[in-house]
Amino acid sequence: DSSPCRHGGRCENGGGAYLCVCPEGFFGYHCETVSDPCFSSPCGGRGYCLATNGSHSCTCRNASHVGKCELQGHGGLHGELSPPTALTVEKVEETGVSISWRPPDGPAARQALDGYAVTYVSADGAYRRTDFVDRSRSAHQLRALAAGRAYNISVFSVKRNANNKNDISRPAVLLARTRPRPVESVEVANVTASTISVQWALHRIQHATVSRVRVSLHHPEASQDQSADVDKSVDRFTFGALLPGRRYTIQVTTLSGLSEEEQPTESLATTPVHVWTRPLPPANLTATRVTATSAHVVWDAPAPGVLLEAYVINVTTSQSTKSRYVPNGKLVSYTVRDLLPARRYQLSVTAVQSAEHGQLHSEPAHLYIPAPVWPLPSPACSAAPGDGAHRRWHQGGHHPRVLRNRPPPARLPELRLLNDPGAPEMPTQPPRFSELVDGRGRVSARFGSSPSKSVPTQSHAPRNCSENPCQNGGTCVPGAGTHSCDCGPGFKGRRCELACKKVPRPCTRLFSETKSFPVWEGGVCHHMYKRVYKVHQDVCFKESCESTSLR
């Protein structure tokens, strides 16, 4: 829209940038530079063209010839200048190349020349330029070049004659390529205890000359760096088989000109990215003792040489998560207390290692703890003699029973008290009762106001799978005198009537840590202990269930 292309150049849009397509005779990002008048080789094949102030002059190998140097005599080349030697590339940059050479041998040869002509042409012939260098210098810097492109460089010895008819030597030539542009926005995509993944970006126009990307990883303890070359179409790479809890340095460069006929170059490396791998999570996490309100878990001690700072223990239910920060890197067991009976808990233990930039947290080791069920002592359901305090109660080894204590419903029309016909229908005080539901859909209830009499009842669920009682695609599983429903993902309930989903929400985890601080008093060092709280941002999930049945 701003018409950036000059001298009749055509502007093309693409990829959030523009490109100037220049007419013949002009070049540059905005077609602002007049091309070399020697582009069309006006001096023929027996002379050399030297551009001067927008025009050109033909210098034949024998100064007696003029025009296009096509009147070469049969006596050979007379008085030919000696060319420079030892043409070398000293430095390569994205938009420039520095070269040096050695003047012709002998004082007479050096005295005969007036300077040097440096001509550089891009490999595709679209860019051509000639610079004149005084004879007192033997180095030159080529500027305004395109990044990652190859250039044919020629250096001539030049002797100026009258009427702009100059003598010129044979050229000293070499092929050089500028550095490509480095990649953009190198980021660490993922880190585990043994892998590091990095990703980057390449621009379609600015990195058009890039052929491959080189990713290097350095570790101070390793004998050599790890390096890998990937195609330019790849924007991510993962290093594997790394050591846990170690500091690594990653650098990414671009490569251009990897074909056999071209000289390859490598871009400047990106800013080093320092990454720490995670420490290993606790191994063999096991619950060794589970009671109605506590669970004792153990795990293996860390490997020798691994210094951990602390552990984070998370206890998660379907509705909340409680975290505890234990500043003891040698901890190998922990007892979770204040659990509720008949609930399933997920426990995770995370190892914490200290690093120079902060703390490193390992992947959590998970353990699911089904809390045991403890029956209330009653005539209808009592534990067998000899059952210990740590024994789980199952009915016949198939259907675990769940014990609930709750207020009674307002009306109980389907229940009838046994062996008590004289009891009033509606007691003056709302009784409390215990309800025991087993996996077969049977319910046993016991009223607190009754003289220890059990009330057996049968639920109205179908006894078999012929009526297909399972909803929302659940599979009916027949059993001995009853059935059960195997619900699909996202559904729960006795008949899969509850549609459940986990809703993410931002949350914070509060960790407590006790640290000691040395204090000097009267020449004696005392340690004061202070509790420090740390807040970590996290994402929690809350399970929300809605009934799909019409009441």
Reported as a single tens digit per residue, the pLDDT across 197-215 is 999 999 988 898 899 999 9
Domain count, the chain: 4
- The answer on 206 and 85 residing in a single domain is no
pLDDT beyond 50 at 148: yes
pTM to 2 decimal places: 0.55
Let me know: does 284 contact 275? Beta carbons within 8 Å: no
For residue 11, what are its two tokens? 């502007």
Q: Assess whether 261 and 298 both reside in one domain.
A: no
Give the torsion sign (CA, 38, 40, 42, 45). Answer: positive
Q: What is the pLDDT of residue 417?
A: 42
Same domain, 230 and 256: yes
Establish how many alpha carbons lie within 13 A of residue 295's alpha carbon, considering only the half-sphere containing its beta carbon. Answer: 23
Give me the domain span that covers residue 304: 286-370
pLDDT of 192 over the 70 cut:
yes
pLDDT higher than threshold 90 for residue 277: yes
CB-CB contact of 480 with 438 (8 Å): no
56 and 139 assigned to the same domain: yes
74 and 154 co-located in one domain = yes
Amino acid at 152: N
Q: Whole-angstrom Cα distance, residue 228 to residue 192?
A: 20
Element (H, E) at 175: strand 172-177
Tokens matching residue 26: 């002009």
The C-alpha atoms of residue 311 and residue 364 are separated, in whole angstroms, by 10
247 and 297 both lie in a single domain: no
Helices and strands counted in the chain (H then E): 1, 41
Tokens of 548: 């799909």
For residue range 375-414, list pLDDT tens digits in order. Answer: 444 443 333 344 443 433 333 344 444 444 444 444 444 4
Reply yes or no on whether the pLDDT at 457 is more than 90.
no
pLDDT, mean of residues 494-510:
83
Residue 451 lies in a domain: no
User: In this predicted structure, which of 285-294, 330-339, 516-525 has the lowest mean pLDDT?
Assistant: 516-525
Instruction: Return the structure tokens found at 70.
Output: 């096509």
Task: Establish if 492 belongs to a structural domain.
Answer: no
Chosen domain end from 370, 392, 423 = 370
Q: What would the pLDDT profile of 84-107 be if each residue is shown by its tens digit?
A: 989 999 999 999 999 999 988 877
Q: What's the sign of the alpha-carbon dihedral 403, 408, 412, 417?
A: positive
* Model confidence pLDDT, tens digit, residues 11-32: 988 767 888 888 876 777 788 7
Q: What is the pLDDT of residue 388?
A: 40
pLDDT of residue 402: 45
Average confidence score pLDDT of the chain = 77
Confidence check: pLDDT of 466 > 80: no
Cα–Cα distance between 479 and 458 in angstroms, integer?
16
User: Do 231 and 319 fall within a single domain?
Assistant: no
Instruction: Please tell me the distance from the alpha carbon of residue 504 to that of residue 506, in angstroms, as a whole number.
Output: 7
Q: Do 71 and 47 share a structural domain?
A: yes
Read off the pLDDT band of 142 (50, 70, 90).
Answer: very high
Q: Which pLDDT does position 42 carry in this prediction?
A: 64
Asked if the structure places residue 18 within a domain, the reply is no
- Between residues 96 and 460, the one the model is more confident about: 96
pLDDT-derived band of residue 141, with 50, 70 and 90 as boundaries?
Answer: very high
Length of the chain: 551
More confident residue, 166 or 191: 191
- What percentage of the chain carries pLDDT values higher than 90? 26
219/225 Cα distance (integer angstroms): 7
Regarding whether 315 and 264 lie in a shared domain, the answer is: no
Burial 184-220 (b: 16+ CB within 10 A, else e): eebeeeebbbeebbbbbebeeeebbbbbbbbbbbbbe
Could you tell me the CA-to-CA distances from 174 to 8, 121, 156, 168, 467 in Å, in that order? 34, 11, 12, 18, 89
Q: What is the pLDDT at residue 515?
A: 72
Which carries the bigger pLDDT value, residue 35 or residue 419? 35
For residue 388, give both structure tokens: 């210990």
Tell me whether residue 100 is in a domain.
Answer: yes
Find the range with the poorest average confidence among 124-133, 196-205, 369-378, 414-423.
414-423
DSSP assignment of 82-97: PPPEEEEEEEE-SS-E
Split at pLDDT 50, 70, 90, the class of 455 is very low
Tally the C-alpha atoms within 13 A of residue 126's C-alpha that lie toward its C-beta.
12
Helix (H) or strand (E) holding 131: strand 128-134
Structure tokens at 134: 């005084």
Instruction: Between 460 and 319, name the one with better pLDDT.
Output: 319
Residue whose C-alpha is closest to residue 88's, from 80, 102, 100: 100
* pLDDT bracket for residue 46 (50, 70, 90): low
Q: Amino acid identity of 254?
A: T
Say if residue 236 is in the same domain as residue 251. yes
The DSSP annotation for 193-232 comes to SS-EEEEEE--TTTTTT--EEEEEEE-TTSSS-EEEEEET
Looking up tokens 């460089």 gives 153
Widest CA span of the chain, in angstroms? 146
Is residue 528 in a domain? yes
* Higher-pLDDT residue of 121, 410: 121
**Which residue among 231, 246, 276 closes a domain?**
276
* Contact of 476 with 482, CB cutoff 8 Å: no
Q: Are residues 215 and 311 in the same domain?
A: no
CB under 8 Å to 231, separation ≥6 — which residues? 212, 213
List the one residue out of 471, 467, 469, 423 whose CA is nearest residue 447. 423
The reply to whether 267 falls in a domain is yes
Contact 488, 496 (CB under 8 A): yes
Looking at per-residue pLDDT, the higher value among 202 and 260 belongs to 202
Spatial contact of 412 and 387, defined as CB atoms under 8 Å apart: no
For residue 358, what are the contacts with CB-CB under 8 A and spacing of at least 6? none
The span from the CA of 537 to the CA of 541, in Å, is: 14
Does residue 332 register a pLDDT over 90?
A: yes
Residue 13 sits at φ, ψ, to 5 deg, of: -90, 150
Ranking 215-229, 288-302, 393-407, 521-535 by mean pLDDT, the lowest is 393-407
Domain containing residue 258: CATH number: 2.60.40.10
Degrees, nearest 5: CA angle 528-531-535: 150
Indicate whether 170 and 191 sit together in one domain: no
346 is a domain residue? yes
Q: Is residue 480 part of a domain?
A: no
Domain boundary at 120, 147, 177, which? 177
